[in-house]
Amino acid sequence: MTRTDFVVLGAGPAGLGAAYRLSYLGFRVIVLERQAVVGGLAGSFEFAGQRVDYGSHRLHAATPAPILRLLRARLGDELQQRGRRGRIRIRDRWLAFPPGPAAIARSLPPGFLVRAGLSAAVATVRPRRDRNFAEYVTTGLGRVMGEAFYFPYARKIWGVEPDGLSGEQARRRISADTPWKLARRVSARKQGGRFFYYPAGGFGRIPEVLAEAAVEEGADIRLSTEVAGIRFGDSSVTVATSGGDRIKAGQVWSTIPLTSLAELVETVAGDPTPGVAGIEYRAMLLVYLAVPSGRYTPFDAHYFPDRDIAMTRVSEPKNYRDGPDPPDRTVLCAEIPCSPSDDMWSRTDHELGAMVGDALARCGLEHPRPVEVAVRRLRFAYPVYRIGYEESLTPLIAWADRRRNLVTFGRQGLFAHDNTHHTLAMALAAADAVGRDGRLDHVSWEAARRSFDRHVVED
Ligand SMILES: Cc1cc2nc3c(=O)[nH]c(=O)nc-3n(C[C@H](O)[C@H](O)[C@H](O)COP(=O)(O)OP(=O)(O)OC[C@H]3O[C@@H](n4cnc5c(N)ncnc54)[C@H](O)[C@@H]3O)c2cc1C
């Protein structure tokens, strides 16, 4: 049986960031990843001669300086700083996204702006209420903004009515949640929301260079290796893999979905695994269209909050970078949140490609007439915070915490809607809580974990 200090489950940014830092600190680390490549949701792959991502991915300007330094040191000039250039379709009109004041004044009907302003003014004099998503938005930004943008968007992204979602979902998802913050964001032209970082070779270069750094420090990354079972002892853990290996470790650090972790851990008498029924993930279809022209539009992404269009966003990876992309073709990636029980989930590539093409044409864009279509299905795309989700999440986290040689973190591991820079911050904070003897300081880890509750997702 192999022995090591740490087994890290999952080679997405969180698992790789932790593996890098723990090996740098001198510990023996083995990473187990079920896919044949590193990256998780933040990975890239090749389609129609181009590197493409799992939906629109950008490294946001809010990335903390130490993480940016680490990535810059590995990526050098490959990490480009880019101005954002997106568009959102609201009430059959296109608006620059993120919008500036001129674009708002030019693109939205004056009657709508007056009603939105009045309803926001009412919100500012009423107390904030947050029992559900709808209430949080209405008492923060006003009902008109909610109904025009946030409510349809919530229904599409999470598949739940806005008053059936927890207020926490809004708090973690809407960074400009008062008229003042919204006005500041709209007017500050140089603010972080207007630029982003992106590697010329695709977003997946970020996890790839983290994996290279971890391996250089001695980490052993085992791809195509699924975790099949985990047994906790008093001072060590045994992890069984799908290939029949058994690895004994001082600690297991998990970034796989909390629900999968609960299924993999051997039950101990007197400490049953809590139910996971309230832990719900939204799935997503990613439909890639290879378009036979140099560029489809000059925009990096188009956003579609309205219900009559199935996708929430369509991105054009070529416009995120100055990269080694072919001059005569481009790729579009449409994101369609759904549930595996929806009929949409099992449609053929051809049907989905045709649906996306037709929807773009209905919005006044040229029909892309794709020469090739590919579809990827993400089962764990977004955590859904339905009202009452805490009743399942809290006992599950407490159950994990009772295993003193288990740390669960990352987007899937903490059931958080977080960005890549957040999950990297989690990984580095966890590694920083490890003493020279390899033990985790549970008090500092708990303090770090509380700070993650303040993460607000960037779009
Ligand atoms: C559509 C979309 C758009 C996004 N856009 C952005 C963006 O613009 N900017 C941004 O910063 N973030 C964005 N994100 C979020 C970003 O993808 C995540 O924050 C990041 O990938 C999370 O990293 P992670 O390591 O926590 O989890 P993951 O990337 O999910 O990694 C978990 C890993 O665990 C592996 N695994 C699961 N089960 C097992 C098992 N049993 N055995 C072994 N391995 C297993 C998985 O294969 C995976 O590799 C977006 C996410 C989505 C879905």
pLDDT (average), residues 316-324? 96
* Residue 369, token pair as written in the block: 């007439």
Say if 2-44+61-81+199-278+387-452 and 280-384 have the same CATH topology. Answer: no
Place 189 in a pLDDT band, splitting at 50, 70 and 90.
Answer: low
pTM, two decimals, is 0.94
> Which of the 8 DSSP states describes residue 133?
H
Place 70 in a pLDDT band, splitting at 50, 70 and 90.
Answer: very high
The CATH code belonging to domain 2-44+61-81+199-278+387-452 is 3.50.50.60
The label of the residue with tokens 């991502």 reads 53
Which of 112-116, 148-152, 203-207, 253-257 is predicted least confidently?
A: 112-116
Per-residue pLDDT at 193: 58
Atom 51 of ligand 1 has which residue's CA nearest to it? 41
Can you tell me the distance from the alpha carbon of 247 to that of 107, in angstroms, rounded to the nearest whole number? 59
* Residue 347, token pair as written in the block: 């449609």
Per-residue pLDDT at 192: 47
- Residue 226 beta carbon below 6 angstroms from any ligand 1 atom: yes
Give percent of the chain above pLDDT 70. Answer: 98
Can you tell me the distance from the alpha carbon of 72 to that of 210, in angstroms, rounded to the nearest whole number? 11
- Residue 227 beta carbon below 6 angstroms from any ligand 1 atom: yes
The CATH code belonging to domain 101-188 is 1.10.3110
The residue that leads in pLDDT, 307 or 83, is 83
Which of 124-128, 164-168, 242-246 is predicted least confidently?
A: 124-128
- Domain boundaries of the chain, sorted by first residue: 2-44+61-81+199-278+387-452, 101-188, 280-384
CATH superfamily, domain at 280-384:
Protoporphyrinogen oxidase, mitochondrial; domain 2 (3.90.660.20)
The label of the residue with tokens 């058994």 reads 246
- Residue 19 beta carbon below 6 angstroms from any ligand 1 atom: no
Q: What mean pLDDT value characterizes the chain?
A: 92
Can you tell me the distance from the alpha carbon of 27 to that of 355, in angstroms, rounded to the nearest whole number? 50
Can you tell me the distance from the alpha carbon of 424 to that of 240, in angstroms, rounded to the nearest whole number? 26
Place 374 in a pLDDT band, splitting at 50, 70 and 90.
Answer: very high
- Residue 119 beta carbon below 6 angstroms from any ligand 1 atom: no
Ligand 1 center to 394 CA (angstroms): 22
Q: Which ligand 1 atom sits nearest the alpha carbon of residue 39?
A: 49
- Residue 35 beta carbon below 6 angstroms from any ligand 1 atom: yes
Ligand 1 center to 110 CA (angstroms): 41
- Residue 33 beta carbon below 6 angstroms from any ligand 1 atom: yes
Checking 26-30 for CB contacts under 8 A at 24+ apart, the result is: 27/434, 27/438, 28/4, 28/218, 29/4, 29/5, 29/214, 29/218, 29/219, 29/220, 30/2, 30/4, 30/6, 30/219, 30/220, 30/221, 30/222, 30/247, 30/249
3-state secondary structure 372-402: EEEEEEEEEEEEECECCCHHHHHHHHHHHHC
